[in-house]
């Protein structure tokens, strides 16, 4: 009997996203959705894929991404879809694509200008989140997109980079922007409490803004205030914000940074377990690497150095007396990066810069650069920040592999890449290209701490559940047909810190809303992603 099915995937090992053991079955797609899971017999489709000895799973949902402007500037960018990622969550670490007013718009224009494809025609044409999402819908994206409203972005709109409490009227203005973002479809609010200006906010400000989000059923997602010496206190602050505002709490890229803090994740995970037993809804995400990455270096210094924005930062770093004060403060300030505090200069890698003068240093550590320049490493760090106006992508080797494994295998964790988009030149973190295949290769096959089914759950249905997205993340009839077909024995990441621009192996087909987007490992050019609104 002939049917009018769009796609039939025959004979695959179905890893349905629930964490249950795989089963062998056919899958049919019609009108962008999964229409049947079961034996299809002689049914025919426009496209038939033989998935014998292949795994068929839901598309992966990247719980933590920074593709906000990349999706607009370069919609056919394929380094996520080639990993099997069919949905991305943006607006993380306090930084979102909207609202854009005042200094927030100026920062957004600088960010766009640094991206591949960034040009005057691609400067942000919106001020509200709704306008941004409408632009993405009209243009199209390779993946589905969900977003948070960024606290730092909201604060820039109202206070810029001022280090002070907002007045009552300013706080009300911030509340209004947050409320508008939630009405426009944001899934919650995110904070980046190590970055200016988010780091200038106190706990009470965050609670008040989160109370607004609670009215709309969102979540509180936090790059917490400290991931090193004050890790435990920072986790407790995030939980307090959630408890007092009535929001579920999600901790971003959970880690213990710096050698003296390794193994603290066991305590923080125990705290989360205890709170969950008491009824508090707390989860986290994690990436499968021991190095982090950021688009600047200023967050590694005492927070007061960044007050007033980049121009003020550069002015301060030019002043010998202020440099001396920074050095003095570093030894006592527990919020300073442990790499700077303990002089681990070989663990700070400059991945990308903007000036031609410093291009030769891309891919090299601050230890190597300072030696080449014949200057003290701290002065080298200051000089680089001056010359590049802090537009430096840095990679920071901060974590211990055992800690990463501990968080990855814990039941409360899900996977997020935390990928910072590439600039026009230079390197990126390998997680941009390898996160999701790496979870399977390293933590399923090599280390054996997850089953394949558990790994897929952490990369698909669990993040969808966290966001309240009920029609994605599972291979189940009626779900949108976001699917990945891969060889479970061959799937692997290839990207390295030295050569990060390498696509993974083993991913043969990827469907986004039923559209074939990866075919035999190659990108088809499809822009089938949808904007997902809360």
Residue 21: phi and psi, rounded to 5, are -60, 150
Q: Give the whole-angstrom CA distance, residue 464 versus residue 280.
A: 19
How do beta strands 85-90 and 60-62 pair?
parallel
Q: Give the whole-angstrom CA distance, residue 283 versus residue 271.
A: 11
Residues 103 and 203 reside in one and the same domain: yes
In a domain, 26, yes or no: no
Residues 370 and 436 reside in one and the same domain: no
The tally of CA atoms less than 13 A away on the side-chain side of residue 508 is: 17
Q: Give the whole-angstrom CA distance, residue 404 versus residue 288.
A: 7
Region class of 259: left (phi > 0), else alpha (psi between -120 and 50), else beta: alpha
The tally of CA atoms less than 13 A away on the side-chain side of residue 57 is: 34
The parts of the chain modelled with pLDDT lower than 70 are: 1-3
Residues 281 and 139 reside in one and the same domain: yes
Q: Give the whole-angstrom CA distance, residue 499 versus residue 494.
A: 9
Rounded alpha-carbon distances, angstroms, from residue 399 to 254, 258, 296: 11, 6, 19
Residues 241 and 311 reside in one and the same domain: no
Region class of 188: left (phi > 0), else alpha (psi between -120 and 50), else beta: left
In a domain, 8, yes or no: no
Whether this prediction's pTM lies above 0.95 is answered by: yes
Residues 283 and 315 reside in one and the same domain: no
Residues 137 and 269 reside in one and the same domain: yes
Q: Give the whole-angstrom CA distance, residue 286 versus residue 66.
A: 14
In a domain, 382, yes or no: yes
Q: What is the maximum alpha-carbon separation in the chain?
A: 83
Residues 211 and 125 reside in one and the same domain: yes
3-state DSSP assignment of residue 58: strand
Residues 306 and 242 reside in one and the same domain: no
Residue 5: per-residue pLDDT:
85
Q: Give the whole-angstrom CA distance, residue 371 versus residue 379.
A: 11
In a domain, 31, yes or no: no
Over the stretch 180-235, which tens digit does the pLDDT of each residue have?
A: 999 999 999 999 999 999 999 999 999 999 999 999 999 999 999 999 999 999 99
Q: Identify the domain containing residue 355 by its residue range.
A: 298-397
Q: What mean pLDDT is reported for the chain? A: 96
Q: Give the whole-angstrom CA distance, residue 305 versus residue 322.
A: 9
Q: Which residues pair with 272 in a beta bridge?
A: none
Residue 2: per-residue pLDDT:
44
Rounded (5°) CA angle 291-500-378: 45
The tally of CA atoms less than 13 A away on the side-chain side of residue 108 is: 31
Q: Give the whole-angstrom CA distance, residue 409 versus residue 93.
A: 23
Over the stretch 271-288, which tens digit does the pLDDT of each residue have?
A: 999 999 999 999 999 999
In a domain, 256, yes or no: yes
3-state DSSP assignment of residue 281: coil
In a domain, 216, yes or no: yes
Over the stretch 119-135, which tens digit does the pLDDT of each residue have?
A: 999 999 999 999 999 99
Residues 207 and 338 reside in one and the same domain: no
Q: Can you give the CATH number for the domain in which 130 is found?
A: 3.20.20.140
3-state secondary structure 114-161: HCCCCCHHHCCCCCCHHHHHHHHHHHCCCCEEEECEEHHHHHHHHHCC
Handedness of CA 264, 267, 270, 275 (dihedral sign): negative
Residues 275 and 305 reside in one and the same domain: no
Residues 227 and 317 reside in one and the same domain: no
Residue 37: per-residue pLDDT:
97
Rounded alpha-carbon distances, angstroms, from residue 42 to 10, 45, 48, 271, 481: 11, 10, 11, 54, 21
Over the stretch 405-433, which tens digit does the pLDDT of each residue have?
A: 999 999 999 999 999 999 999 999 999 99
In a domain, 510, yes or no: no
DSSP 8-state code for residue 421: P
What's the total number of domains in the chain? 2
Residue 42: per-residue pLDDT:
85
Q: Give the whole-angstrom CA distance, residue 341 versus residue 236.
A: 24
Residues 101 and 190 reside in one and the same domain: yes
Residue 331: per-residue pLDDT:
87
Contact 78, 121 (CB under 8 A): no
Total length of the chain: 534
Rounded (5°) CA angle 499-503-504: 110
Residue 3: per-residue pLDDT:
52
In a domain, 55, yes or no: no
């Amino acid at each position: 009997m002939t049917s009018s099915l769009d796609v039939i995937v025959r004979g695959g090992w179905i890893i349905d996203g629930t964490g249950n053991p795989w089963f062998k079955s056919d899958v049919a797609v019609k009108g962008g959705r999964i229409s049947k899971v079961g034996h299809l017999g002689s049914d025919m489709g426009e496209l038939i894929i033989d998935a014998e000895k292949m795994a068929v799973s839901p598309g992966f949902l990247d719980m933590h991404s920074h593709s906000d402007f990349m999706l607009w500037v370069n919609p056919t960018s394929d380094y996520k879809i080639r990993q099997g990622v069919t949905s991305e969550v943006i607006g993380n670490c306090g930084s979102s694509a909207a609202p854009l007013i005042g200094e927030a718009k100026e920062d957004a224009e600088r960010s766009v200008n640094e991206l591949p494809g960034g040009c005057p025609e691609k400067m942000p044409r919106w001020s509200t989140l709704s306008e941004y999402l409408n632009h993405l819908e009209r243009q199209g994206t390779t993946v589905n997109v969900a977003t948070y409203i960024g606290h730092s972005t909201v604060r820039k709109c109202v206070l810029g980079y001022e280090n002070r409490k907002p007045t009552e009227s300013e706080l009300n203005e911030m509340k209004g922007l947050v409320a508008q973002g939630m009405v426009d479809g944001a899934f919650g609010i995110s904070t980046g409490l190590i970055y200016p200006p988010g780091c200038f906010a106190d706990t009470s400000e965050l609670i008040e803004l989160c109370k607004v989000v609670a009215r709309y059923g969102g979540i509180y997602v936090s790059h917490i205030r400290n991931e090193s010496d004050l890790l435990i206190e920072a986790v407790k602050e995030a939980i307090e914000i959630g408890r007092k505002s009535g929001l579920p709490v999600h901790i971003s890229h959970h880690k213990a940074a710096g050698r003296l803090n390794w193994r603290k994740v066991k305590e923080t995970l125990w705290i989360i377990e205890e709170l969950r037993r008491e009824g508090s809804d707390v989860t986290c995400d994690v990436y499968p690497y021991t190095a982090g990455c950021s688009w600047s270096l200023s967050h590694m210094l005492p927070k007061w150095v960044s007050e007033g924005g980049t121009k003020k930062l550069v002015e301060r770093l030019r002043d010998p007396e202020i440099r001396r004060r920074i050095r003095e403060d570093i030894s006592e300030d527990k919020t300073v990066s442990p790499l700077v505090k303990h002089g681990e200069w070989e663990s700070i890698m400059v991945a990308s810069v903007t000036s031609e003068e410093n291009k030769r240093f891309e891919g090299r550590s601050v230890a190597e650069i300072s030696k080449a320049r014949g200057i003290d490493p701290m002065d080298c760090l200051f000089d680089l920040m001056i010359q590049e106006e802090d537009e430096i992508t840095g990679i920071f080797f901060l974590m211990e592999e055992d800690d990463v494994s501990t968080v990855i295998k814990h039941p409360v964790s899900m996977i997020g890449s935390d990928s910072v988009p590439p600039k026009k030149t230079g390197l990126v973190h390998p997680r941009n290209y390898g996160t999701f295949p790496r979870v399977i290769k390293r933590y399923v096959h090599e280390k054996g701490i997850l089953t394949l089914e558990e790994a897929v759950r952490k990369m698909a249905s669990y993040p969808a559940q966290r966001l309240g997205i009920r029609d994605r993340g599972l291979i189940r009839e009626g779900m949108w047909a976001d699917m990945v077909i891969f060889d479970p024995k061959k799937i692997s990441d290839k990207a390295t810190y030295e050569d990060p621009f390498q696509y993974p192996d083993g991913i043969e087909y990827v469907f986004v809303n039923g559209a074939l987007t990866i075919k035999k490992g190659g990108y088809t050019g499809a822009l089938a992603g949808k904007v997902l609104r809360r």
